[in-house]
Amino acid sequence: MSKYSIRQFVQETQQEESARDFFELETDRMLEVNLNGRVWAKAGSMISYDGNIKFEREGMLEHGLGKFVKKAFSGEGAQLMKANGQGRLYVADMGKKITVLDLEGESFFINGNDLLAFQDGLEWDIKLMRRVAGMMAGGLFNVRLEGQGLVAFTSHYEPLTLHVTPDKPVFTDPNATVAWSGNLEPEFVTDVQLKSFFGRGSGESVQMKFSGNGFVVVQPYEEVYQAQQS
């Protein structure tokens, strides 16, 4: 249906009052957080809220000097905000599709640009990909999360999960790689043949190689990251 009356439009697009879980997908591209305490979210991701909620940008030294130094290198994409209070908070990121995972003691890596929100209490750390930073504009970083709680990440269009086994390593384009299981440590390789197709400066020639047992999540889109701030 392409035409709506006002009444029909409101009915089709109104929020779901029955939603009560901590993280609820209000739509495929908008996350509702039923807040009673604190949640971490990507800075700038707030769309709307009701209730008594206060927002605060993450303090530089809040998590110790180590994370501060890493954030200085990883740029604005790593910025998080805290939302404290009671109410409903709606977050989104450039209309990207949202996936919610319930971690049950597992660890999980997410590309720092694709992390949308996570439940307070999860352990997290920023991992810099220094070896690839000189090969691609802006380099890459990721966030490792572990523990019990919910985490939401984004992808352009539908994500695809690829299984990694000892006899079948998986190679991915870093710009299309969204997340991977916490037991995997990717290495970066350069494909000389691809260089001949895309040119010496192309990120296409740099690949992430995943070996072992686990999985990696990719998106049908190559996201170009802004150069880091010096």
pLDDT attached to residue 59:
55
State the pTM of this model: 0.81
Q: Does 225 map to a domain?
A: no
Residue 36 is predicted with a pLDDT of 94
Distance CA 220, CA 146 (A): 26
Which tens digit of pLDDT belongs to each residue from 15-74?
Answer: 766 556 899 999 999 999 999 999 999 999 999 999 999 999 865 445 554 454 445 444
Mean pLDDT of 140-151: 90
- Residue 9 lies inside a defined structural domain of this protein: no
Q: What is the mean pLDDT of the chain?
A: 81
Is 127 inside any structural domain? Answer: yes
* φ and ψ at residue 196, rounded to 5 degrees: -70, -25
* Number of folded domains that form the chain: 1
The residue ranking higher by pLDDT, 85 or 61, is: 85
The reply to whether 12 falls in a domain is: no
For residue 224, being part of any structural domain is answered with: no
Per-residue pLDDT reduced to its tens digit, 90-108 = 999 999 999 999 999 999 9
Q: In angstroms, rounded to a whole number, what is the distance separating the alpha carbons of residues 52 and 63? A: 25
- Of all residues in the chain, the percent with pLDDT exceeding 90 is 54
Boundaries of domain holding 201: 19-218
Residue-wise pLDDT tens digits, 68-80: 444 544 444 457 8
Q: What confidence tens digit (pLDDT) does each residue in 152-210 have? A: 999 999 999 999 999 999 999 988 999 999 999 898 888 766 655 554 444 457 889 99
Residue 228 lies in a domain: no
CATH number of 113's domain: 3.60.160.10
